Amino acid sequence: MRAVIQRVKSASVTVDGKLVSEIGAGVLVFLGVAHDDTTTELEYIANKVANLRIFEDEAGKMNLSLLDTGGAALVVSQFTLYGDCRKGRRPSFINAARPEVANTLYEQFIAILKQQNIPTQGGIFQAMMEVALINDGPVTILLDTDKQF
């Protein structure tokens, strides 16, 4: 599982010209699910997102998490995080999970954040989305369970 986490002042998702979700301060999470991911990887990434100390404290140090700040999360499924560009010019997505598997884990990811009392919204799975954000910092973190386990 891969996640690109961006600290944001605000973020939103629009589909077909309609606003479907938006948050204020918090994180935008682009979530990629691999074909062999399980709830083990899911729980690891979700807990990392909730507890990452990427928000500044009163001294200006990155010491606070979403749980500490009461920030929100906007989670967008993004299979292209598993695009393999090592051969040729067109990415291969062979390592990305099948849609039915990816959607289940994506929904569970959102549920885990909500269970931790993090205000969480999502995009629309498999939709062509317009994602807008105001990056705060910028702060962008990459999590990859292939490098963790």
3-state secondary structure of 45: helix
Q: What are phi and psi of 61, to 5 degrees?
A: -95, 145
pLDDT tens figures, 7-54: 999 999 999 999 999 999 999 999 999 999 999 999 999 999 999 999
pLDDT confidence band for 148 (50 / 70 / 90): low
Spot the catalytic one: 39, 80, 126, 140: 80
Percent of the chain, pLDDT > 90? 97
Decide if 131 contacts 13 (C-beta within 8 A): yes
More confident: 149 or 18: 18
- Total-model pTM: 0.95
Query: Per-residue pLDDT for 149 more than 60?
Result: no
What are the helix (H) ranges across the chain? 39-51, 66-69, 99-115
- Computed over every residue of the chain, the mean pLDDT equals 96
Decide if 76 contacts 30 (C-beta within 8 A): yes
Give domain 2-143's CATH architecture.
Answer: 3-Layer(bba) Sandwich (3.50)
Spot the catalytic one: 6, 78, 121, 145: 78
pLDDT confidence band for 108 (50 / 70 / 90): very high
Please state the rounded mean pLDDT for residues 66-73.
98
pLDDT confidence band for 146 (50 / 70 / 90): confident
Spot the catalytic one: 30, 55, 79, 109: 79
Please state the rounded mean pLDDT for residues 105-112.
98
- Asked if 79 is an active-site residue, the reply is yes
- Asked if 39 is an active-site residue, the reply is no
Structural domain boundaries in the chain: 2-143
Distances in whole angstroms, Cα of residue 102 to Cα of each of 28, 74, 116, 128 = 18, 17, 22, 16
